[in-house]
Structure 1
Amino acid sequence: MSSNEQNQVMEMDGEERYDYFLSQVAEDREIWILVNNDSRFLKIASDDGDVEYLPVWPTAAFASEYASGGEELTPRSISLPDFFRKWVPGLTKDGLDVGVFPGLDKTVWITEPAELKQDLQDVMSEF
């Protein structure tokens, strides 16, 4: 993907980025997260602390761009079967939501893990 195409995607609003995320992940069958040097995944809490979520991206490039300029974070891929089988139940048990494709403007589409799984399965059934 060219940097121009990447910029166009980043300029989308949260809902458009969510739709882009669904189609890209359904095609590639992997989700990207950020991890630190201790292999701990990035978790973000809302300003008021009411919501904690795991931010996810459709590609390593978008995750890297989000991480640039901050602490040492590295993109790591999770296969879709692993995400469905391990991460969705684990996130649900821990009370963590999923922040789908945070933008550089810090807007993000927050959803429950099971809802994201269902949306991804719906998109994949169209292939």
Structure 2
Amino acid sequence: MDVLVLVGRILFVLVFLPSGVQHLMQSKAMGAYAAAKGVPAPVPATVTSGLVLLAGGLSVLLGIWADLGSLLLAVFCIPTAVVMHGFWKESDPGTRQTEQIMFLKDVALGGAALMLLAFFSYVGHDLGLTLTGPLFHIG
């Protein structure tokens, strides 16, 4: 089971780590997009979100307080879905569909991150192939 969970962790963070790097490397361009969506202080918010993505992704990947990393990713994904991908505000059918797909992707990833939080917290030190045990203890 340890190897299966490790492979799952690797696959799960493949979306977060490159995105975190992109948030940091292209913070002005991504900040402009965030500004268009009404995000206050868009460039600092972009940098902060990039750091959250990297910290959460690396935490899950390396198994260093992976429960905390999962929580960070959920805290990023769920508000991002609502703030950045409000498909209900779009009148163009193509844009609406694209935003709805992005919204659902973020909600699904946030839900998966919450499940990982529970999993890592519950299984704790019994899960191999991690560098630390959980920070939180459920159950």
TM-score (normalizing by structure 2): 0.31
Q: Which has the larger radius of gyration?
A: 2
Higher relative contact order, structure no. (Cα contacts within 8 Å, ≥ 6 residues apart)? 1
Bigger fraction of residues in strand: 1
